[in-house]
């Protein structure tokens, strides 16, 4: 049993997708799919989590993840409190755990945490009361589990089976929590041909991403793939001296229409956003017919509803 699960197999915390059992991942994806609606349709709402409170504790910037966790909780009838780092006591020197204990005293049931420091979500999970769940909304370069799930859901909506897919993850793999969570979920779901494509300084350490083919040339990495997942250069995790030159990067690694033509004709293009148009991706591709980037955002709410429902189900049942 994974340490994020309860004795009955249900999920209590979601800090990483690493080693989560495939049936649990598939259950979350199935539930999220049942909550996904086309653009323009009315969002599903329920009162399943009425009386529960979800706190968003973000100490790193976020647009999509924070808003979609908030919408997900509200659409399930939960109350939501949002703590912005500038307003929180953490900047006054209060430790993260003191902030967490304060929230716990205020009857928080789930704590959604984004932090630039590795290990914060698991440290918090180790200290909270047994009825509190901790959900990572992005941990340093390490993990972004709900992003991994929404990426898997988006692919599942366009491709019949993971086992037969070729997926290229392209860009700043080294500093990317999105790539790491994608790796864990794609592996668990049986993707056989998973490639990572990056210039040598942005490749991960040799022990990571085991089993993935490594390509330093975009052209070979994209050849005949079904899915192209582009990543942002994580400048906030690099020293000034290591920042790649934007023009040079685009010339070698930018996804242009010509390069996308190397993938299968029905390949889909993904990006977790925020996008740097003209650095890692051309606007014609980002906004083009093969792009599913906006579907990813829409799926984010459905996935976060499924995750919140899963970790707080025992509350609604009781």
Q: Among all residues, whose Cβ is closest to ligand ASP? A: 232
C-alpha–C-alpha distance, residues 96 and 139, integer Å? 14
Q: Output 12 or 232, the one with its CB closest to ligand ASP.
A: 232
Closest CA to 253 of 166, 168, 170: 170
Binding mask 269-308 for ligand ASP (x = CB under 6 A): ---xx-----------------------------------
Contact 194/187 with Cβ under 8 angstroms? yes
Question: CA 23 to CA 145: how far, in whole Å?
Answer: 16
**DSSP character at residue 71:** H
Given 12, 66, 177, 195, the residue binding ligand ASP (CB under 6 A): 177
197: contact with ligand ASP by CB under 6 A: no
Residue with tokens 């590795």: 118
Q: Does 138 bind ligand ASP (CB under 6 A)?
A: yes
Cβ neighbours for 20, distance < 8 A, ≥ 6 positions apart: 2, 4, 11, 184, 188
**Window 246-275: contact mask with ligand ASP (x via CB under 6 A):** --------------------------xx--
Among 232, 259, 298, 304, binds ligand ASP (CB under 6 A): 232
144 binds ligand ASP (CB under 6 A): yes
Compute CA distances 28 → 161, 231, 286, whole Å.
Answer: 17, 24, 28
Pick between residue 33 and residue 273 the one whose CB is nearest to ligand ASP: 273
Q: Which residues bind ligand ASP (CB under 6 A)?
A: 138, 144, 177-178, 232, 272-273
């Amino acid at each position: 049993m994974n340490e994020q699960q309860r004795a009955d197999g249900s999920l209590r915390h979601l800090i990483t997708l690493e080693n989560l059992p495939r049936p649990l991942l598939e259950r979350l994806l199935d539930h999220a799919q049942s909550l996904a609606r086309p653009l323009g349709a009315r969002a599903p709402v329920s009162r399943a989590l009425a009386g529960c409170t979800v706190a968003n504790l973000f100490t790193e910037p976020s647009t999509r993840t924070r808003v979609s966790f908030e919408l997900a909780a509200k659409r399930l009838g939960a109350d939501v409190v949002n703590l912005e780092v500038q307003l929180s006591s953490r900047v006054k020197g209060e430790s993260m755990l003191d902030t967490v204990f304060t929230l716990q005293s205020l009857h928080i049931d789930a704590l959604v945490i984004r932090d630039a420091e590795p290990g914060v979500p698991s440290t918090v999970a180790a200290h909270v009361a047994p009825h509190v769940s901790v959900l990572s909304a992005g941990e340093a370069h390490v993990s972004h589990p709900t992003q991994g799930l929404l990426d898997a859901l988006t692919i599942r909506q366009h491709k019949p089976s993971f086992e037969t897919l070729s997926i290229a993850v392209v860009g700043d793999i080294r500093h990317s929590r999105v790539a790491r969570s994608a790796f864990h979920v794609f592996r668990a779901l049986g993707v056989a041909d998973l490639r990572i494509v990056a210039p040598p300084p942005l490749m991960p350490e040799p022990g990571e991403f085991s089993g993935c083919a490594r390509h330093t040339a975009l052209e070979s990495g994209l050849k005949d793939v079904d899915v192209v997942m582009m990543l942002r250069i994580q400048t906030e995790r690099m020293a000034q001296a290591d920042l790649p030159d934007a023009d040079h990067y685009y010339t070698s690694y930018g996804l242009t229409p010509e390069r996308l033509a190397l993938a299968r004709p029905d390949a889909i293009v993904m990006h977790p956003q925020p996008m740097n148009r003209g650095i890692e991706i051309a606007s014609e591709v980002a906004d083009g017919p093969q792009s599913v980037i906006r579907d990813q955002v829409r799926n984010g709410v459905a996935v976060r509803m499924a995750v919140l429902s899963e970790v707080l189900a025992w509350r609604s049942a009781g």
